[in-house]
Structure 1
Amino acid sequence: MKYFQLKITTFVCAFILMINAHANQGGALSVDTTAGKPVWEVGVFSAAFRGPIYPAATDYQNKFLPLPFVIYRGEKIRIGDESLIKAIAVEKERFKLDVSLGAAFNADSEDSKIREGMPDLDFMFEIGPEASFLLHDSKVSDTWLNLQFRSVFSTDFSDVHHRGYVFQPEVSYRSDNLLFDNSRFYFSVSPTFASAKTHQYFYDVDAKYVNSERDYYQSLGGYLGTKMSIANRFQLTKSLMVFVGTQLGFWQGAKNDDSDLYQEKFTYAVALGVKWTVFQSTEHIN
């Protein structure tokens, strides 16, 4: 399955959150980027994805995801704009305290030769605090250091299981109109470190699942890999935004590269999406 960020860090749903957090704003990149925007928006976000079924996997899967969205830009609380939920009172000029989220689609083991006969990988989600430090700021670009610590869970929507923790420091850069007019470019690099429980979900091979393709293996905690994300959004009209993006996964040197379930040192994921605002308030932010 795709493992991830954005800001929801790992690519699929994480990429959606990344786009919402980094590419959904307009105008100059300052502390307050809401000036001139409607107080609330309601619409539909849809995206198509292709990526590995789990970190360092050989097998890939395709997914299509349509989602409704709601954005609210209040004086003290903002929802769905620069982050999932933000309390404006904790935002300083060069520091932000926020919530970091991540998600990944489920994957059927029967679709992967190396995992055949093993349990399926459930839908995963991550949540935890994020502290962001402004490294560089100008009228058209900014660079941040984001320190993200998240708790990891998996679910088949009947039970929820805790899958450990991840620590993901990230350097992110964004710039307006870098490649095209009415566009925003986003780039980030984020090494990921995970607890043993998280690695075990991907790379453990219990004795009952040993076969000619898989030896017994127990995972340890440590370095998982590094992700490089590149995206660009295009504001075609006031209500229509299109984005394209890719995420490259560099897994060389991962703690559990001895596992037979660790297959590739490099993977990629790609995404194409559309954000359509159907309704918005007549009141705008001053």
Structure 2
Amino acid sequence: MATSIKIRIARFATVGLAAVALVAQAAEERPLWEVGAGVVAFSFPSYRGSDQTNNFLMPVPHFTYNGDFFKADRHGIRGSIFDSERVDLTLSLALSPPAPSDDIKARNNMPDLEATFEIGPQLDLTFWRSENRARFVKLLLPLRAAFTVEGSPKDIGWVFHPKLNMDITDLPNMPGWNLGMLAGPLFGDKRQHAYYYSVAPQFATASRPAYEATSGYAGMQYLVALSKRFPKYWVGSFIRYDNLSGSTFADSPLVRQKDYFAAGLAITWVLGESSTRVLVND
């Protein structure tokens, strides 16, 4: 069986945009390239388990390229080497923003949480796909090593996040609207959990006792996204639910909230496009 190898890059500045664009499109002709701009608004906690929320409203660039080998769109940047109907091997990358401890009551006087960079392989298994490729069910198996983004980067362990992914294009009685759904558990090693949830003795207080996190289960995550492409603009929204109950670090004093919702909304305008059209199969 042939295997597809792709490279995917997720950036913090387009976190909300990427989340609302999980859904695939049916095989169709599209411009070879598009350029534009938009705005995204989203809300999520300072870190998983935090009881403080960050709200962002920011401009985002819009760029797509649909070449035979290289592709760039809201799903990321990827280069397809081999095609397969059932198995894709991908290289998955992700960034997360910093979280200064002075802004987080639970972490007051503790070291800041630096921005992090994650990289690793991802295996995608397609269980079912419609003939026009507009609807499918996949199992996504990303395994990424995480590092802090600073002058001297630190290795902060591994993250494993298997997810079941279902995409539906052209919802009943809603032509052009696309629905994407993701659900799956998270796992991390001791270094990954310690970075976010351990409390060293020197940072312990009466309300924040010393704590040593361990490896293992890190909770469940569910996400639903809805989007539609219009002739000259694109709109999308998402809502994500996280539940940390039963996680190995659930009793950490830094876990102040064991379940919560995050959400986002985005709109982008197409300002220019190529006159060359190509057939795209997502």
Q: What TM-score, normalized by structure 2, do the two folds share?
A: 0.87
Question: Deviation of residue 222 (structure 1)?
Answer: 1.0
Q: Paired residue for 2:99? A: 107
> Equivalents in 2 of 1:81, 1:54: separation in Å?
24
> Equivalents in 2 of 1:225, 1:12: separation in Å?
25
Question: Deviation of residue 9 (structure 1)?
Answer: 8.2
Which amino acid in 1 is paired with 2:206? S
**Root mean square deviation of aligned Cα:** 2.3
Question: Deviation of residue 149 (structure 1)?
Answer: 0.8
2:16–2:40 CA contact under 8 A, matched in 1: no
Q: 2:116 aligns with which of 118, 124, 136?
A: 124
1:172–1:189 CA contact under 8 A, matched in 2: yes
Q: Paired residue for 2:4? A: none
Residue deviations 1:95-116, cap 9 Å, x none?
2122223332222222222111
2:219–2:245 CA contact under 8 A, matched in 1: yes
Question: Deviation of residue 283 (structure 1)?
Answer: 0.4
Q: 2:168 aligns with which of 165, 168, 175?
A: 175
> Equivalents in 1 of 2:255, 2:91: separation in Å?
30
1:143–1:171 CA contact under 8 A, matched in 2: yes
Aligned-pair identity in percent equals 25
Q: Paired residue for 1:185? A: 179
> Equivalents in 2 of 1:164, 1:97: separation in Å?
22
Question: Deviation of residue 71 (structure 1)?
Answer: 1.8
**2:49 is equivalent to residue 63 of structure 1:** no
Q: Paired residue for 1:94? A: 86
Q: Paired residue for 1:210? A: 204
Which amino acid in 2 is paired with 1:271? G
Q: Paired residue for 1:242? A: 235
* Higher RCO by CA contacts (8 Å cutoff, separation 6 or greater): 2
Structure 2 residue matching 1:121: 3-state secondary structure: coil
Count residues with an aligned counterpart.
269
Residue deviations 1:96-142, cap 9 Å, x none?
12222333222222222211111222222322211111112224421
* CA pair 129-18 structure 1, distance change in 2 beyond 3 A: farther
Question: Deviation of residue 54 (structure 1)?
Answer: 0.8
Question: Deviation of residue 155 (structure 1)?
Answer: 1.8
Structure 2 residue matching 1:84: 3-state secondary structure: strand
* CA pair 248-9 structure 1, distance change in 2 beyond 3 A: farther
* CA pair 12-67 structure 1, distance change in 2 beyond 3 A: closer
> Equivalents in 2 of 1:126, 1:244: separation in Å?
25
> Equivalents in 2 of 1:239, 1:122: separation in Å?
38
Q: Paired residue for 1:232? A: 226
Q: 1:135 aligns with which of 127, 141, 151?
A: 127
Residue deviations 1:241-274, cap 9 Å, x none?
1111111001111111121112222111010111
Structure 2 residue matching 1:182: 3-state secondary structure: strand
2:34–2:64 CA contact under 8 A, matched in 1: yes
Structure 1 residue matching 2:112: 3-state secondary structure: coil
Q: Paired residue for 1:161? A: 154
> Equivalents in 2 of 1:260, 1:212: separation in Å?
11
Unaligned 5+ segments in structure 2 are 1-7
Which amino acid in 2 is paired with 1:103? L
Unaligned 5+ segments in structure 1 are 1-6
Q: Paired residue for 1:3? A: none
> Equivalents in 2 of 1:127, 1:15: separation in Å?
20
Question: Deviation of residue 8 (structure 1)?
Answer: 7.0
> Equivalents in 2 of 1:141, 1:101: separation in Å?
25
> Equivalents in 2 of 1:91, 1:150: separation in Å?
23
Which amino acid in 2 is paired with 1:109? S
